[in-house]
């Protein structure tokens, strides 16, 4: 058995590309939802499944959460690395070991990814610390 | 009886309909089709000097039940082994139909497999016997704050299997353990250069030479990560001990290992 925990596609990238999923289920819930019996990590089919679930849950009132998170992330982007690094670390830590293939440096080296991670963090700080809109099946 | 057991397994594989019903209420009901392919090729056994060995394993499942990170799947597994020196234990073909329970944890997965297996090798007619075995895998990465030319991570893994895993050895309980630890010293894109060390040991209850070996690697591999998979090309100095005969040999080995996994899912309306 040789499982792909660090296969390069990056669970964090998939979550970053599907903020509605995180808004609906929470960050930990979304990670759990995407879990596979093949093992931790991401596989062919994970991103497509995330998109399909997003379409199913799009009427759960996630729009306002995402709009607020994007506004907050755009403001945070003006901050220094010292100010933003704790937020990035918090998001990666909340995602868990399956996100550890993405380094802090690589997030700061990709401004688009950095913004997406800040959006995730804003959603995480709102949804995961309050009541998830979804039930967070992976928790 | 054997035919009946095989039929029951096939019926189970073909009946994923209640998977969705077992999903939680909040997440959409889905049916998953997890699978993977694993290929190893190279001069991997110093106690078999000059022997070029290949092993290909393909598995395809249907998730019939899920609760959070626990899964039950019907699964079909096919494996084919070949070597250049025609050792019986390296030239086996097997097809197994069975049921798998998977428990995924944060960085690991435990699997329990049960089923009926049809196996043939170069010396034996096909045999159908039940198999039952458990496997465990855990991996870690430990990122370091290094630059491009300094260590950036400490990737490693441990894997273990135990049980009756071959229909050709139906009364032989085989256990294996492998620990791998590397250092990512250079990374460019999805390609990583990793000096590594690996310890592996296997044991069985029948005392077959090929199931009672210990090996230790020190080597270098290039890892190419692709979406959903990973390819390792490596060279190493491998010391392998055959504990039944007492022989031991150290030799250079070269290998290619490929692992690729998938899990497409369909949402049940």
CB-closest option in B25, B109, B152 to A40: B109
Record: contact A4-B157, CB cut-off 8 A: no
Output the pLDDT for position B75: 97
Asked if B230's CB is within 8 angstroms of A32's CB, the reply is no
B143 in reach of chain A (CB within 8 A) = yes
Residue B117 has pLDDT above 60, yes or no: yes
Chain A residues 57-96 with a CB less than 8 Å from chain B:
57, 96
Indicate the pLDDT class of residue A44, thresholds 50, 70 and 90.
Answer: confident
- Percent of chain B past pLDDT 90, that is, above it, reads 63
Q: Is the pLDDT of residue B127 over 60?
A: yes
Say yes or no to pLDDT of B21 above 70. Answer: no
| pLDDT given for residue A5 in this prediction | 55
Is the pLDDT reported for residue B14 higher than 80?
A: no
What is the average pLDDT across B105-124?
91
Cα A88 to Cα A9: distance, rounded to the nearest angstrom: 18
pLDDT mean over B130-140: 94
Q: Do A137 and B27 make contact, defined as CB atoms within 8 angstroms?
A: yes
Mean pLDDT over B28-48 rounds to 91
Domains identified in chain A, total number: 1
- Out of A40, A43, A139, the one facing B107 most closely (by C-beta) is A40
Option in B161, B229, B265 nearest A45 (CB) = B265
Percent of chain B with pLDDT over 70: 88
Query: Nearest CA of chain A to the CA of B82: how many Å?
Result: 18
**Are B68 and A39 a contacting pair at CB < 8 A?**
no
Residue A126 within a domain: yes
Q: Mean of the pLDDT values across residues B58-68?
A: 94
Pairing state of beta strands B265-267 and B30-32? antiparallel
Task: Identify whether A101 is part of a domain.
Answer: yes
HSE, CB side, 13 Å, CA atoms: give it for residue A38: 35
What digits encode the pLDDT tens for the residues B160-171?
A: 999 999 988 999
* A133 band by pLDDT with thresholds 50, 70 and 90: very low
Comparing B10 with B106, the larger pLDDT belongs to B106
Any idea what the Cα angle at residue B136 is, between residues A2 and A47, rounded to 5°? 55
Joined together, the tokens standing for residue B137 give: 């895998």
Asked whether the beta carbons of residue B27 and residue A97 sit closer than 8 angstroms, the reply is no
For residues B91 and B120, what is the distance between their CA atoms, to the nearest angstrom? 9
Least confident of B7-16, B52-61, B254-263: B7-16
In this complex, is the C-beta atom of A49 within 8 Å of any C-beta atom belonging to chain B?
Answer: yes
| Residue B188 bridge partners (DSSP) | B191
Strands B70-83, B265-267: pairing is unpaired
Burial class (CB in 10 A: 0-12, 13-18, 19+), A115: middle
> How high is the mean pLDDT of chain A?
82
Does A37 lie at the interface with B, CB-CB under 8 angstroms?
yes
Rounded CA separation A1/B136 (Å): 8
CB B269 within 8 A of CB B31: no
For A12-34, how does the pLDDT look when each residue is reduced to its tens digit (9 = 90+)? Answer: 889 999 999 999 999 988 988 99
According to the model, what pLDDT value does residue B147 have? Answer: 59
Per 3-state DSSP, chain B is made up of helix, strand and coil in percentages (nearest 5) of 10, 65, 30
* Cross-chain residue pair B262–A57, CB shorter than 8 Å: no
Domains of chain B: 3-267 (2.40.160)
Number of Cα atoms under 13 Å in the Cβ half of residue B76: 11
Distances (CA, A) of A13 to A87, B53, B198: 16, 37, 31
**Confidence band of B49 (pLDDT split at 50, 70, 90):** confident
| Residue B208 burial (10 A CB sphere; 0-12, 13-18, 19+) | middle
Structure tokens that stand for B146 in this block: 């290094």
pLDDT of residue B24: 40
A44–B32: do the CB atoms touch at under 8 Å? no
Which of the four pLDDT bands, split at 50, 70 and 90, describes residue B142? Answer: confident
- Nearest chain B alpha carbon to A53: B28
> pTM of the prediction?
0.84
Is A50 within the bounds of a domain?
A: yes
- Quick check: is A139 in a domain? no
Contact pairs from chain A to chain B, CB under 8 Å = 164
Q: Do B261 and A49 lie within an 8 Å CB cutoff?
A: no
Say which of A2, A56, A135 has its CB closest to residue B38. Answer: A2
**Predicted local distance difference test score (pLDDT) of residue A103:** 79
Residues of A in contact with B230 (CB under 8 A): 2, 4, 6-8
User: Who's near A135: CB < 8 A, 6+ residues apart?
Assistant: A25, A29, B24, B25, B26, B27
Please tell me the least confidently modeled range out of A14-18, B24-28, B75-79. B24-28
Domain of residue A113: give its range.
4-133
Task: Using pLDDT thresholds of 50, 70 and 90, give the confidence band for residue B258.
Answer: very high
In tens, the pLDDT along B150-200 reads 788 898 999 999 999 998 899 999 999 999 999 999 888 788 999 999 999
């Amino acid at each position: 058995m040789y499982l792909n925990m660090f296969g390069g596609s990056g669970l964090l990238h998939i979550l970053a590309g599907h903020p509605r999923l995180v808004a609906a289920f929470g960050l930990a819930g979304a990670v759990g939802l995407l879990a596979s019996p093949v093992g931790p990590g991401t596989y062919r089919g994970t991103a497509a499944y995330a998109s399909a679930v997003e379409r199913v849950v799009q009427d759960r009132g996630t729009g306002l959460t995402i709009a607020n998170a994007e506004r907050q992330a755009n403001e945070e982007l003006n901050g220094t690395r010292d100010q933003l690094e704790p937020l990035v670390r918090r998001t990666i830590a909340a995602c868990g070991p399956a996100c550890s293939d993405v380094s802090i440096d690589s997030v700061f080296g990709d401004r688009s990814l950095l913004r997406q991670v800040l959006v995730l963090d804003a959603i995480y700080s709102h949804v995961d610390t309050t009541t998830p809109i979804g039930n967070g099946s992976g928790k | 009886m054997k035919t009946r057991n095989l039929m029951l397994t096939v019926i189970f594989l073909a009946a994923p309909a209640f998977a969705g019903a077992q999903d939680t209420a909040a997440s959409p009901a889905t049916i998953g089709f997890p699978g993977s392919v694993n290929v190893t090729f190279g001069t991997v056994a110093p106690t078999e000097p000059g022997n070029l060995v290949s092993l290909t394993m393909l598995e395809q499942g249907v998730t019939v039940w899920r609760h959070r990170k626990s899964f039950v799947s019907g699964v079909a597994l096919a494996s084919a082994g070949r070597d250049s020196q025609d050792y019986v234990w390296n030239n086996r073909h097997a097809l197994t139909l069975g049921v798998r329970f998977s428990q995924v944890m944060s960085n690991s997965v435990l699997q329990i497999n049960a089923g009926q297996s049809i196996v043939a090798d170069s010396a034996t007619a096909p045999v159908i016997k039940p198999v039952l075995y458990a496997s465990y895998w855990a991996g870690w990465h430990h990122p370091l704050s290094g630059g491009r030319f300094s260590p950036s991570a400490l990737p490693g893994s441990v894997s273990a299997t135990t049980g009756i895993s071959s229909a050709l050895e139906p009364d032989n309980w085989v256990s294996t353990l492998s620990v791998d630890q590397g250092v990512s010293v250079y990374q460019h894109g999805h390609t990583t250069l990793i000096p590594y060390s690996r310890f592996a040991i296997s044991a069985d209850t029948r005392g077959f030479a090929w199931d009672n070996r210990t090996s230790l690697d020190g080597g270098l591999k290039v890892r190419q990560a692709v979406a959903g998979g990973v390819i390792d090309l490596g060279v190493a100095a491998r010391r392998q001990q055959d504990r039944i005969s007492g022989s031991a040999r150290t030799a250079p080995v070269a290998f290619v290992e490929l692992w690729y996994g998938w899990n497409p899912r369909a949402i049940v309306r």
